[in-house]
Amino acid sequence: MTETHRQSELLMPAGSLDKLKVAVLYGADAVYLGTPDLSLRSKSEFTLENVVEGIEFAHAHGKRVYLTLNLFSHNKDIDKLPEYVDTARRVQPDGLIVADPGVFMFVKQHAPELELHVSTQANVCSWQSVKFWQHQGAKLCVLGREVSFTELSEIRQRCPDIKLEAFVHGAMCMTYSGRCLLSNFMAERGANQGACANSCRWKYKVHMRLKDGTSKELRLTEENLDLFEFLLEEEVRPGEFMPIEEDERGSYILNSKDLCIMPKLDDLLGIGVDSLKVEGRGKSIYYVAIVARAYRMAIDDWYRDPDNWSAEDYMDELLTVPNRGYTYAFHEGRLSNHAHGFENTSTIGGWEFAGMVKSVEDDAFIIEGKNKLEAGDVLEFVPPNESDTILLRIYEFEHAASGKINQVINAGHEPLFRVPFALFDHEDPAMLKDRIPPMTVLRKEKALTREQWDRLKLDQETRRLEMGGGSEAAYASRRDALQDSQAIKNSARRPKTPRIGMEGCCGKGCNGCLIFWHDPGYARARQLLAGKKQGEMFDHDMKDNPAGQAAG
């Protein structure tokens, strides 16, 4: 099998039955899933019955399903293996992902018809290791995240007769392919048995111990900052001092940014990596839908026209998903400092999950709200099978069952509301059913604090630096701005585009404001708006129109 004949599949995580269905709807070629006790995800929402239903659903849509059996087994786990393997034989997954050699041997002996895949937990990082597992009977090897593209290319060349899988997106572990004991030590939760506490994401502070045995927090200020320096000396390197740096905000020295290979995806497609894997069985339905959609479009567009392919449009889509900042990690070999988040560990984004289409009636959508929605919000429908989204500014919410009109919808409290097709001024009602099927996700802009907006700007600047663009001066400016906003601790939030409260503007859109449509001062704004989608607003930073902000 040559490189040019290898079509890469998009492999998405499925942490629940609904997430599996959304992944299939939004373009996954395959999904991976497992039950809580045996699949390194103690919070997995799959029962064995769900597994059966999920596989039947995926197969009915022509998609593949891989079951995870990738725990490091202890004696107590062995008694569960016969039941799990018997179930796997009955439902016939397209592959069983295994890490433990003993489990591999058990499955090979008791279910030889099952295709075995070697998990990333097995730390496969060389062509020699791939050949070892191939000799044992493995049909696919999931390579460790530490494998560089140069190494991956050589593995592909030397191992042409086994399928290779590589991670392209998702959370990164601070240790070697997830082989971590930090969670066990800090929280007595086994990272290698599916219960990681993410201790690497916690905030740590420096303390000093006095001669009398008491410990005190060392608070660093402008007055005392120059009085202290903290150094490490390794036993066999006497005199070689390594600094430990921390400021008054603490530090997240173990906190990796999220993996995103999208800017380098053409490299992996070009050498024929068989499976492109997205991490995130514990992530939301919104994450599954948007990430699958972005990579589906990117992969398909590359195969159509590889010479003119660019990652930027797809990156814009991925930036609507909460993240810790993106890095392509070990792709170039050495991990750079830009791959770490030293200022903050949270996942944030300028957009949030607004809702999901629960059903489609003859003349309306029934929507389940997933976050607080208010009159005047712009809902963005994200179709699973096309690149264009549909915007709708909504002024009231009709309760799906009673017909009662509300101004606010709160997730978890009667969240179902009805959206008639008649509200879509710019869309053909006859086409809406085809474009927006059940389980379509909706998003909306999220109001963030100044600190959060500065974090996003710094993340984007570091991404440009990692890609070889940007500038150190711009990075330093963004970093200083973030530190300033962190010091202010202002909790006020604002969205990217204006809302209610802007001077001269109701904040609910420009499709009904007589002042906007007739005042000569808004001529430039009307011209710009004509090229925008229904419900789309002007940005806060619009400079070329003096009436732009007021015309929100």
| Three-state secondary structure of 198-240 | CHHHCCECCEEECCCCCEEECCCCCCCHHHCCEEEECCCCCCC
Q: Which of 336, 359, 390 is the last residue of a domain?
A: 336
Q: Which of 282, 263, 276 is nearest to 171 (CA)?
A: 282
Among left, alpha and beta (phi > 0; psi -120 to 50; other), residue 520 is: alpha
Distance of alpha carbon 511 from alpha carbon 509, whole angstroms: 6
For residue 544, being part of any structural domain is answered with yes
The percentage of the chain sitting over the pLDDT mark of 70, rounded to a whole number, equals 74
**SS3 (DSSP) at 382:** strand
Return phi, psi of residue 154, to 5°.
-70, -40
For residue 363, being part of any structural domain is answered with yes
Q: How confident is the model at residue 528 (pLDDT cuts 50, 70, 90)?
A: confident
Q: How confident is the model at residue 237 (pLDDT cuts 50, 70, 90)?
A: low
**List of residues 6+ apart from 326 with CB closer than 8 A:** 257, 258, 259, 260, 315, 318, 459, 463
pLDDT in tens, 159-178: 999 999 999 999 877 665 66
Note if the pTM is more than 0.85. no
Summarize the confidence of residues 377-381 as an average pLDDT.
92
Distance of alpha carbon 441 from alpha carbon 371, whole angstroms: 12
Asked if 347 and 322 count as a contact pair (C-beta separation under 8 A), the reply is yes
Q: 447-451: which pairs have CB atoms within 8 A and are 24 or more residues apart?
A: 447/493, 447/494, 447/495, 448/348, 448/350, 448/493, 448/494, 448/495, 449/485, 449/490, 449/491, 449/492, 449/493, 450/485, 450/488, 450/490, 450/492, 451/482, 451/485, 451/486, 451/488, 451/489, 451/490
pLDDT in tens, 275-294: 999 998 889 999 999 999 99
CA distances for 430 relative to 11, 174, 385, angstroms = 33, 50, 17
Q: Which of 14, 11, 13 is nearest to 30 (CA)?
A: 11
CA distances for 112 relative to 83, 86, 232, 519, angstroms = 15, 12, 52, 76
- Helix crossing, 81-91 with 48-60: angle to 10°? 20
Q: Which of 312, 310, 340 is nearest to 326 (CA)?
A: 340
Asked if 142 and 116 count as a contact pair (C-beta separation under 8 A), the reply is no
Question: Same domain for 170 and 29?
Answer: yes
pLDDT in tens, 507-520: 444 545 666 667 78
**List of residues 6+ apart from 315 with CB closer than 8 A:** 260, 262, 263, 326
Asked if 107 and 98 count as a contact pair (C-beta separation under 8 A), the reply is yes
Question: Same domain for 314 and 425?
Answer: no
Q: Which of 311, 336, 361 is the last residue of a domain?
A: 336
Q: How confident is the model at residue 426 (pLDDT cuts 50, 70, 90)?
A: confident
If one counts the domains in the chain, the total is 3
Question: Same domain for 92 and 8?
Answer: yes
For residue 487, being part of any structural domain is answered with no
Asked if 105 and 81 count as a contact pair (C-beta separation under 8 A), the reply is no
Question: Same domain for 426 and 522?
Answer: no
Question: Same domain for 160 and 37?
Answer: yes
Gyration radius (Cα) of the chain, Å: 26
Query: The domain spanning residue 105 has which CATH number?
Result: 3.20.20.70
Query: The domain spanning residue 404 has which CATH number?
Result: 2.40.30.10
For residue 477, being part of any structural domain is answered with no
Question: Same domain for 94 and 167?
Answer: yes
Q: Which of 445, 474, 507 is the last residue of a domain?
A: 445
Q: How confident is the model at residue 113 (pLDDT cuts 50, 70, 90)?
A: very high
Question: Same domain for 310 and 408?
Answer: no
Which residues are 366's β-sheet partners? Answer: 359, 418
Q: 516-520: which pairs have CB atoms within 8 A and are 24 or more residues apart?
A: 516/551, 519/547
Q: Which residue has the higher pLDDT, 433 or 532?
A: 433
> Taking 80 as the threshold, does the pLDDT of residue 218 lie above it?
no
For residue 173, being part of any structural domain is answered with yes
Q: How confident is the model at residue 546 (pLDDT cuts 50, 70, 90)?
A: very low
Which residue in the block uniquely carries the two structure tokens 């062995």? 78
Question: Same domain for 317 and 375?
Answer: no
Question: Same domain for 420 and 507?
Answer: no
Mean pLDDT of the chain: 82
Question: Same domain for 316 and 379?
Answer: no
Question: Same domain for 357 and 325?
Answer: no
For residue 490, being part of any structural domain is answered with no
Question: Same domain for 332 and 360?
Answer: no
For residue 406, being part of any structural domain is answered with yes
For residue 476, being part of any structural domain is answered with no
**SS3 (DSSP) at 285:** helix
Low-confidence winner among 12-16, 142-146, 197-201, 383-387 (lowest mean pLDDT): 197-201
Find the domain containing 388 and state its range.
Answer: 351-445
Summarize the confidence of residues 39-63 as an average pLDDT.
79
Q: Which residue has the higher pLDDT, 489 or 548?
A: 489
Distance of alpha carbon 358 from alpha carbon 412, whole angstroms: 15
> Taking 80 as the threshold, does the pLDDT of residue 223 lie above it?
no
Helix or strand holding residue 59 (H, E): helix 48-60
> Taking 90 as the threshold, does the pLDDT of residue 6 lie above it?
no
Amino acid at 76: K
Distance of alpha carbon 378 from alpha carbon 371, whole angstroms: 13
Which residue in the block uniquely carries the two structure tokens 């909790």? 491
